[in-house]
Structure 1
Amino acid sequence: MKRLLFFLLIGSSTSVYAQRNFTIEETVFGPNKFAPTTLYGLQWTKKNDILTHLDASYQKLIARQAKDNWTEKEIANITDLTNALRHALPQDTFELRMFPFSYDWVDDNTLAFELTTDKGVHLVEYNIADKKATVIKSYPNNIPNIEKQKHYAYSINNNILIVTESGEKIEVTKDTVDGIVNGSDYVHRQEFGIKKGMWWSPDNQKLLYYRKDESMVTKYPLPQWDSRVATTQYIRYPMAGMKSEEVSLVVFDISSRKHITLKTGEPKEQYLTSVTWDPNSEHIYVGVLNRGQDHLKLNKYNAKTGEFVKTLFEEKSDTWVEPQHDLIFVPNTPNQFLYQTDKDGFNQLYLYDTEGKLIRHLGYKDVIVTNFKGFNSNYTKAYYIGASNKGLERHLYEVELKSGKTKQLTTIHGVHNASISPSGNFVVDQFSNLNTPNIVQIINTKKGTSKELLRVHNPFEGKINLPKIEFKELLSPDGKTPLNARITYPTNFDPSKKYPVMVYLYGGSHAQMITDRWLGGIGYFDLYMAQNGYIVFTLDNRGSDARGRDFTRVTHRQLGENEMADQLVGINFLKSLPYVDKDRMGIFGWSYGGFMATSMMTKHNETFKAGVAGGPVMDWKYYEVMYGERYMDTPQENPEGYEKTSLLNKADRLRGNLLIIHGAQDPVVVQQHSMQFIEQCIKQGVQVDYFLYPTHEHNVRGKDRVHMYQKIANYFDLHLKK
């Protein structure tokens, strides 16, 4: 017994000793290194309730069916697929190391995927029954901004070229004026959910595209340091209150070779969003949003003439209207579509007809639609992932189009990514929560039962000292709004000791730092700092994402004010904890978070001994039109708000030690922000630290990010460690 106890103790000691903290490199590369395993390529086949995915070696395609109790069955493998591809592409050179992760089922025997070879990009269909591959289409390699259908179109040198199915090349545009851009998805600086710059009509005969005229927009210089004599690269950057770009939508008809510009009206400085073809290729729907971003019209246009047909409906607000999604037509009902808006408080689905009549609101409680997942096989039901439980969770919901009756299909707390089988009888559900790395399961929607396909254990166990993470709920200063917070304790936490604090924050719109997913959504640098003796704290203030319209709109015309008020609630909570050293508190944020960190260091300068602000907005009048004017209006319309939120006139209030980091090539928050603040600090006799990454844009990426995190950690250690 003594020998057994001795070996048990040795084994236990060795196990504990084997665990370690993250290296600084793992703050950047750790998410891939320690990612929980999962099932890749999860897809339902086209008609039957057959689930497919790759095996653990990525060499086989697996199928599962209810009749077999969802047991694995190999239906294809990389060897057979490679042989079929070599037969279909005898002149091409390629190396297939794993079965394609991204594929779609054409029918229950045929899958489609793209293969890149030395000769081009090929759309391939592979029949798993006869093990034959067929090349459906081919495209040249490295084509920018390509839009594929029966024909394909792409933009090059700000112009558009079409290659027809027969191989004919058509020059759609031939603009040579600097500032005229055709077919680019970088329109309105990709606000308003814009992800594309070209759209093929459903009948493949017309190409709709953005034409952007930014020739009147101010050119902004970005110094380049890669030559002996530095050069200058210019970008078009419309600052708040200044001249903005003018955008139009143009239809090109392949048959007639005619260009038709949609008559979207005046003024030219407006935003064209939610661009959608109707299923019959006869009309185009466009959300026309005024520059003030408080009045949206969903307009219908004739695709042949470009004429305005009618306004289906309008949205107005005393703050802002923010369209983010294209229309979704019901596949078997071409005169009905789904529209997403938060006009009633939460982003939800609304069923309209093409004359603008609201048929039905399909919203459910305060659930916010975050990801539309499609329809069932007879298009009577729609599915979506929705944010619930004060934004912490994501679940799959089913809504009947005819009645609006809604059913929540996933129930275990956490963040779910799920999809429905063709019959609607089964859901494949992949989810995690704070303490669960990953579970993949099949849910029977009729019986309410489930079967696990994969349960992943903690990938850090026995390897890494994982700090303890807890969720907290605090109350906003308005006395009624709950705020989600996350606290991460140092490893080997001792409540009788006092610890330094790093507050990590973002605080701006369209971002959420805390969700009930694995590790609570925390970043590896936060874990690294906790392992090195810091309490790390994050709070999602009002203005952040997934909490609804009213939660967001409180920031209007005064960015940073209510956000700071909420952050102070979190800071006061920290100060109330006996193990927090109130004299050793630091704050770190990037972009909007850099603005927030600097705001806290100046406006509430008694709190933090050290701060790091990365890529920070220092004055909103230097920020771009589309984002800035949505929240602040123009400097001419809101001079008091710009004065109040500017940090340039508050440099004299800076206390403590502030490190500002910026990318010299930043086209989002241009370096002028931090340079202006540095200049004000010099004039006021205030010391501040500054570090520049000469070749990086808004984010520092790759191995240089390791350098950045080491610098930040060193800065906090220098000023906060005893």
Structure 2
Amino acid sequence: MKKYILSFLLVGSFAVAQNLTIEETVLGPRKYAPTTQTAQQWRKDSKSITYLSTDFSSLVEKSAANGWTASTLATKAEFETALKSKISNDEFTIRTFPFSINWKTVNTFETEVAGKKNNYKVTYDVVSKQITSVISYAIEGSQAKFASNNNIAWLQDNNIRITTPSGQVIEVTNDENKAIVNGSDYVHRQEFGIDRGMWWNEKGTQLAYYRKDETMVANYPLTNWNEREAINKDIKYPMAGMTSENVTLVIYDVASGKKVTIQTGEPKDQYLTMVSWEPTGKHIFIGILNREQNFLKFNKYDVATGAFVKTLFMEKAATWVEPQHALTFVPNNPTQFIYQTDFFGFNQMYLYNTDGKLLKNLGFNDVVVKDVLGFDATNTKINYIGTTNNGLDRQLFQVDLKSGKTIQLTTVPGTHTASVSSDGTMILDQYSNLTTPNEISILNIKNKMANTSLVKAENPFTGKIDLPKIEFVTLTSPDGKTPLNGRLIYPGNFDATKKYPVMVYVYGGSHAQLVNNRWLGGAGFFDIYMAQKGYVVFTLDNRGSDSRGKKFCEVTHRNLGVNEMADQMKGIEFLKSKSFVDADKIGVFGWSYGGFMTTSLMTNHSDVFKVGVAGGPVIDWKYYEIMYGERYMDTPQENPEGYEKTSLLNKAKDLKGRLLVIHGAQDPVVVQQHSMNFIEACIKAGKQVDYFLYPNHEHNVGGRDRIHMYAKIADYFDLHLKK
């Protein structure tokens, strides 16, 4: 097996430096953040960028007109004065200049603020220092969606309200049963790229919204231990193979109050995705995905009647079809749109017309589109961020709609976040890589050369923290042909003549990537902390993980964990080939899917892994929710062999090493039933296992409690692996 190793040395200062503290595993990313420009963006219709000052008290501008010299454009005090002058009947606490602003013209931006009585969307003029427009909605409202005519749709619990510009509040729905949920983004458990539950048409006269009926889904109890007498908080949690929610799409007309339910047909047990208004407002498009998740019909519907018009195209696969993106219509051309899909191997863009005719394949090589940034000033080209270097790098690309020709606008290896000026002549480019903390430059789009360097951050650890050596490694999967990206962190004060224990940090599931060509190689501060304590810390992105295309991922189908473990064991072979690795002291840590992988490795390869820490682990996929679980495993009824093979309840008897299982008692994602049943299986098998609950946390342990968690994990490795 060939191994290609790309090595970089991160060198600390020869001045007095120290290791990270356990507190800094959580607080360190802010404390040791590289110098940057926060909330930077192009000012509309200008050759200027704006960002927040280092103390967040003002909006700063750098412009080509003054040689990119920083000047204050607006201050928090000015904004607060304008706000209180415009809205005198409410109270505001403005601690910083608004972080999230959207430039509407060269001099005005929109932002959202909260008072004590209401929430507001305001437009601020940086020249006159005045609030020029205000629209508001109730303080208890959530998930607000703003229309072009200043109508606001928002949620009050499970119902939709609309506030008109005149201040009238329209009650769109009034369902008393909490299991009927209207307008929420929490539909289909937010799979399939769902990030909203309401959509205004272009004119703001009609609102499309999800109506989720989960009355048929059984209640699942989560125990709240903070009450004097513990109580259950019931959630709806449809498990694989069991009854699921039913979802419909409704169109509400503001003027008439009329509702039309889109006729998406039978069976009701299906997924409605990629909801997109046609710019004319006459039609709406919906991706209809069957429950088996292997057949997608992209349909067009008549808004006035809800009737089906036609199927534009279909996708069918032996594994799964996974729609992730709504349509992007070409500006000023309501008959053409951009569709993203990985159906042909890599998530790329395709130009269609509204009759379903494919006009142009806009894909480029094996580049995976990660973020569509929008069109150029002529609306003939699209800018986007895509992957290179086997998924390690992110670069800025531009594709021509007519010719399909693609050019790469950034070239320096690393992870770029970039945007193009309104006139299409300049790029605001920010990137980092393993040895570059942060660089921000203005590039000329014609020759892709830097005109001006705005930020060149120094290593923030120099003279403070003694960083270990970090390497990227490339291994080959058991199929003999697929490259796998890995990251190796050497122990602090490394001595090649010594042998060191190993902590493998693993995730391994879809839609996640742990190894990136960015600052620190994507390593977390806990990884660095453990390396400084004397561990070799290793991470491998196995097949099934993100940013490498569909084939790389779909080898997991119906057998989650099997090929992932095979890849991880190639990582173990690599580690054992190193003279400085103590092959008798290898441990593994992971959370969520990584908790599943940790427990899988501890039980399936019990002679290799001596210590494991599994956080929020999936133990048996039959206890996991329908939308994610059935995509990869099908149902337990369809795939009993796969569920039996991957269940860790069956593997408890094979546990040999020391395993700590951690779970949040309020976890609504991987419910505690997983770990509790595994503990029971260990008891019955006569196997000792350690268990720790965080009573008030959900799937992730956050806040200062995370410091406690990392201390516990580090102590566990020290006690059972390092000694």
Instruction: Quickly name the TM-score band, shorter chain normalised.
Output: over 0.9
Give the secondary structure class of the aligned counterpart of 2:38. Answer: coil
Q: Which runs of structure 2 are paired with 1:207-286 in the superposition (5 Å)?
A: 207-286=207-286
- Residue 678 (str. 1) matches residue 679 (str. 2): yes
* AA of the residue aligned to 1:629: E
Deviation at 1:505, TM superposition (A): 0.2
Give 2:115's aligned residue. Answer: 117
Counterparts of 1:129 and 1:17 in 2: how far apart (Å)?
48
Task: State the structure with bigger RCO (CA 8 A, min sep 6), 1 or 2.
Answer: 2
Percent of matched pairs sharing the same residue: 59
Per-residue deviation, 1:625 = 0.5
1:574 to 1:160, Cα distance in 2 relative to 1, 3 A: same
Report what 2:541 is aligned to: 540
Write the letter of the residue equivalent to 2:475. Answer: L
- Structure 1 distance, partners of 2:122, 2:366, is 43
Report the residue type matching 1:280 in the other structure. Answer: T
Rounded Cα–Cα distance in structure 1 between residues aligned with 2:276 and 2:508: 32
Report the Cα distance in structure 1 between the residues aligned to 2:73 and 2:717, rounded to whole angstroms: 55
Q: CA deviation at 1:703?
A: 1.3
Q: Which residue of 2 aligns with 1:76?
A: 74
Task: Decide whether the 8 Å contact of 1:383 with 1:397 is kept in 2.
Answer: yes
**Contact preservation (8 Å) 1:60, 1:76:** yes
How far does the alpha carbon of each residue in 1:311-359 deviate from its partner, in whole angstroms, 9 at most, with x for none? 0000010000000010000111111000000111100000000000000
Residue 4 of structure 2 is matched in structure 1 by: none
Aligned-partner Cα distance in 1 for 2:405–2:321: 27
Question: Please, which runs of 5 or more residues in structure 2 have no aligned partner?
Answer: 1-11
Aligned to 1:665: 666
Structure 1 residues 90 and 409, CA gap change in structure 2 (3 angstroms): same
- 1:586 maps to 587
Structure 1 Cα separation of the partners of residues 94 and 169 of structure 2: 31
- 1:182 maps onto 2:185 in alignment: no
Aligned-partner residue type, residue 592 of structure 1: Y
Moved more, 285-294 or 81-90: 81-90
Match of residue 49, structure 1, among 22, 47, 50: 47
CA contact (8 A) 1:513 1:522 kept: yes
- Indicate which of 116, 137, 140 corresponds to 1:139: 137
Counterpart residue type for residue 290 of structure 2: N
CA distance in 2, matches of 1:15, 1:136: 52
Structure 1 residue 463, shift from structure 2 partner: 0.7
List aligned pairs for 1:401-550, cutoff 5 A.
Answer: 401-450=401-450, 451-550=452-551
The Cα shift of 1:97 comes to 4.2
Question: What SS does structure 2 have at the residue aligned with 1:660?
Answer: strand
CA distance in 1, matches of 2:182, 2:58: 42
Distance between the aligned counterparts of 2:89 and 2:708, measured in 1?
45
1:699 aligned residue: 700
Query: Which amino acid in 2 is paired with 1:152?
Result: I
Q: Do the aligned residues in 1 keep the contact of 2:623 with 2:674 (CA within 8 Å)? A: yes
Secondary structure of the structure 1 residue equivalent to 2:609: coil
Residue 281 of structure 1: how far off its partner (Å): 1.1
Cα separation, 2, equivalents of 1:86 and 1:212: 40
Displacement, 1:158?
A: 1.4
Secondary structure at the counterpart of residue 422 of structure 2: coil
> SS at 1:648's partner residue?
coil
User: 8 Å contact 2:42–2:50 — kept in the other structure?
Assistant: yes
Q: In the TM superposition, what is the alpha-carbon distance from 1:693 to its structure 2 partner? A: 1.2
Deviation at 1:58, TM superposition (A): 3.4
Displacement after TM superposition at 1:79 (Å): 4.2
Equivalent position of 2:335 in the other structure = 335
> After the TM superposition, which of the residue ranges 134-143 and 623-632 deviates more from structure 2?
134-143
Cα drift, residue 416 of structure 1: 0.3
1:568 aligned to 2:565?
A: no
* Conserved 8 A contact 2:78-2:129: yes
3-state SS of 1:552 partner: helix
Note closer, same or farther for the CA distance 1:510–1:83 as it changes in structure 2 (3 Å cut). Answer: same
Deviation for aligned residue 1:174: 1.7
- Local SS of the residue matching 2:39: coil
Residue 249 of structure 1 aligns to a residue in which SS?
strand
How far, CA to CA, are the matches of 1:547 and 1:325 in structure 2? Answer: 18
Mapped partners of 2:198, 2:447: distance in 1 = 44
Deviations 1:105-134 (A, max 9, x none): 221122222233334333222222333222
Q: Is the 8 A contact 2:13 2:466 kept in 1?
A: no
- Alignment RMSD, CA only? 1.5
Q: Report the equivalent of 1:24.
A: 22
- Give the corresponding residue for 2:36: 38
Which SS does the other structure have where 1:705 is aligned?
Answer: helix
Q: For the residues of structure 2 that align with 1:664 and 1:103, how far apart are their CA atoms?
A: 37
> Which string of whole-angstrom CA distances, capped at 9 and with x for unpartnered residues, describes residues 478-512 of structure 1?
00000000000111111111101000000000000
2:392 is aligned to 392
How many Å separate the matches in 1 of 2:666 and 2:108? 46
My pick for the range that moved more, 412-421 or 464-473, is 464-473
Question: 1:392 and 1:676 mapped to 2: Cα distance?
Answer: 38
Letter in 2 for 1:156: Q
Deviations 1:190-219 (A, max 9, x none): 000101011111111111111111111121
Please give the per-residue CA displacement for 1:261-308, whole angstroms capped at 9, x wherever unaligned.
000010000000000111111111000000000000110011111000
- What residue in structure 2 maps to residue 103 of structure 1? 101
Offset at residue 87 of structure 1 (A):
2.7
| Structure 1 residue 142: Cα displacement | 4.0
Which stretch of the first structure deviates more once superposed, 253-262 or 309-318?
Answer: 253-262
Distance in 2 (CA, whole Å) between partners of 1:588 and 1:492 is 23
The superposition leaves residues 346-395 of structure 1 with CA deviations (integer Å, 9 ceiling, x where unpaired) of: 00000000000000010011100001100111201101100111000001
Question: Residue 145 of structure 1: SS of its match in structure 2?
Answer: strand
Q: How many residues align?
A: 709
Matched residue, 2:624: 623
CA deviation map 1:584-618 (0-9, x unaligned): 11100111111111111111111011101111111
Report if aligned partners of 1:218, 1:238 keep a CA contact under 8 Å in 2: yes
* Matched letter for residue 392 of structure 1: L
CA distance, structure 2, for counterparts of residue 160 and residue 122 of structure 1: 18
How many angstroms apart in 1 are the aligned matches of 2:299 and 2:130?
Answer: 47
Partner of 1:87: 85
| Ranges in structure 1 where 5+ consecutive residues have no aligned partner | 1-13
Measured after TM superposition, the shift of residue 224 of structure 1 is: 2.1
SS of residue paired to 1:133: strand
Tell me the CA shift for residue 17 of structure 1: 6.6
Question: Structure 1 residues 312, 490: CA separation in 2 closer, same or farther (over 3 Å shift)?
Answer: same
Q: CA deviation at 1:16?
A: 5.1
Q: What amino acid is aligned across from residue 524 of structure 2 in structure 1?
A: G
CA–CA distance in structure 2, aligned partners of residues 122 and 256 of structure 1: 26
Q: Shift of residue 48 of structure 1?
A: 2.8
> Helix, strand or coil: the match of 2:627?
helix
The one-letter code matched in structure 2 to 1:707 is H
Alignment correspondent of 1:171: 171
Aligned to 1:146, the other structure's residue is in SS state strand
The worse-fitting range, judged by mean Cα deviation, of 146-155 and 318-327 is 146-155
The TM-score with structure 1 as length reference comes to 0.96
| 2:179 is the counterpart of 1:195 | no
The Cα offsets for residues 171-191 of structure 1, whole Å up to 9 and x where unpaired, read as 211222342111111100000
Aligned to 1:3: none
Equivalent of 1:129, from 127, 134, 137?
127
TM-score (norm 2): 0.96
Contact persistence 1:43–1:104 (CA under 8 A): no
Equivalent in the alignment of 1:346: 346
CA distance in 1, matches of 2:379, 2:25: 45
Q: Distance in 1 between matches of 2:520 and 2:125?
A: 41
Q: Is the 8 A contact 2:663 2:675 kept in 1?
A: yes
Could you tell me which amino acid in structure 1 is paired with residue 581 of structure 2?
V
Work out whether residues 418 and 429 of structure 1, in 8 Å CA contact, stay in contact via their aligned partners in 2.
Answer: yes
**d(CA) in 1 for partners of 2:577, 2:416:** 35
Alpha-carbon offset, residue 679 of structure 1: 0.9
